[in-house]
C-alpha cells in the first residue's frame, strides 16, 4: 500500500505545492490538508510547509499553532506520527511545543536567500535515515526569522541526547554556502524530538529534489524517501 503524506496549507503558506511534489517524486501519495480541518484524512505522516503563515504576525508560527488542524497534529505527533516542519513549519513546531526553543529574527536583521551547506548530525530519525551522520548536503535557505535560540539547559540536553539533527556547515566560504546564516545558537539548523518522529529545520529540502531547480542537486529528496521507508517498515 502506498504511504500517504499530508502537507498542511495555512493562510500565507508558500511552499506547500513544492512539498507535495517532493512527496510524489519520492514515491508516496501527497495529500493536501487545510488548516481549518481537524481531519487528517488518514495520512501516515505530515509536513508543515514553509512560508509566512498569517503574515508572521505576533511571531512566526504563533497564530498557526492554534489552527484546528494543529490540535489533531499535536495529539497524533505525541502518539508517534511522523511530522516534518520546514522553515515556517519549524517555527510552528516550536510554538506548539512539539520541539523546544524558539525562532527569532536573523541576527543581521535581513531576509536571506541562498544555497546552504548543512552537516547531518542525526541520521536515525524518521526523516533522516537515508542520510549518513556527518554527511554534507546543500539545500536552499530563505528566511528572516531563522535564528534558533534556547536556554543553555535545553541546548545541552539537545547535544547530550543527539537531538541536533542538522548544523550549518562552517568549513568553507560564505559564497559557497558555508557559515551560520542567521546567528542560530551552536550553528543549529534543525532538531528532533526525543522519539525521532518530529523533525524541524529552517532550510528547504523540498527545493532540492530535482536537478533542474533549486540547488541543481537532489540532496533534499532523502527526507522524503527516509519517511517512506520508515512507514513501510513500521
Compute the distance between CA of residue 43 and CA of residue 33 in angstroms, rounded to an integer. 10
Please give the Cα distance from 109 to 233 (Å, whole number): 44
Strand pairing class (102-104; 147-149): antiparallel
Q: What is the pLDDT of residue 125?
A: 98
pLDDT in tens, 85-103: 999 999 999 999 999 999 9
Q: Over the stretch 10-33, which tens digit does the pLDDT of each residue have?
A: 999 999 999 999 999 999 999 999
Percentage of the chain exceeding pLDDT 90: 92
pLDDT in tens, 37-62: 999 999 999 999 999 999 888 888 99
CA distance linking residue 219 with residue 138, whole number of Å: 6
Residues 6+ apart with CB under 8 A from 153: none
Please state, for a pLDDT cut of 70, what percent of the chain lies above it: 100
Residues labelled as active-site residues: 87, 204, 206
Indicate whether 234 pLDDT > 90: no
Cβ–Cβ < 8 Å for 93, 198 = yes
pTM: 0.96
Contacts of 137 (CB under 8 A, 6+ apart): 117, 118, 120, 131, 208, 219, 220, 222
Sign of CA dihedral 183, 18, 7, 43: negative
Amino acid at each position: 500500500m502506498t504511504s500517504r503524506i499530508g502537507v498542511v496549507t495555512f493562510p500565507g503558506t508558500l511552499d506547500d505545492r513544492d512539498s507535495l511534489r517532493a512527496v510524489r517524486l519520492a514515491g508516496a501519495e501527497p495529500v493536501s490538508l487545510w488548516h481549518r480541518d481537524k481531519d487528517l484524512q488518514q495520512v501516515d505522516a505530515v509536513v508543515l510547509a514553509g512560508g509566512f503563515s498569517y503574515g508572521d504576525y505576533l511571531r512566526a508560527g504563533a497564530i498557526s499553532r492554534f489552527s484546528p488542524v494543529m490540535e489533531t497534529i499535536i495529539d497524533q505527533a505525541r502518539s508517534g506520527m511522523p511530522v516534518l516542519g520546514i522553515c515556517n513549519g519549524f517555527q510552528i513546531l516550536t510554538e506548539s511545543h512539539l520541539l523546544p526553543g524558539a525562532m527569532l529574527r536573523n541576527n543581521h536583521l535581513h531576509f536571506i536567500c541562498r544555497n546552504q551547506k548543512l552537516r547531518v548530525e542525526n541520521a536515525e530519525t524518521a526523516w533522516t535515515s537515508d542520510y549518513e551522520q556527518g554527511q554534507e548536503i546543500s539545500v536552499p535557505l530563505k528566511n528572516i526569522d531563522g535564528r534558533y535560540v534556547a536556554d543553555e539547559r535545553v541546548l545541552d540536553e539537545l547535544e547530550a541526547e543527539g537531538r541536533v539533527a542538522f548544523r550549518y556547515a562552517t568549513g568553507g566560504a560564505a559564497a559557497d554556502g558555508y557559515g551560520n546564516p542567521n546567528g542560530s545558537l551552536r550553528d543549529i539548523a534543525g532538531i528532533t524530538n526525543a522519539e525521532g518522529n518530529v523533525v524541524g529545520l529552517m532550510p528547504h529540502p523540498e527545493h532540492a529534489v530535482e536537478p533542474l531547480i533549486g540547488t541543481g542537486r537532489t540532496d533534499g529528496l532523502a527526507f522524503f524517501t527516509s519517511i517512506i521507508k520508515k512507514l513501510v517498515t513500521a
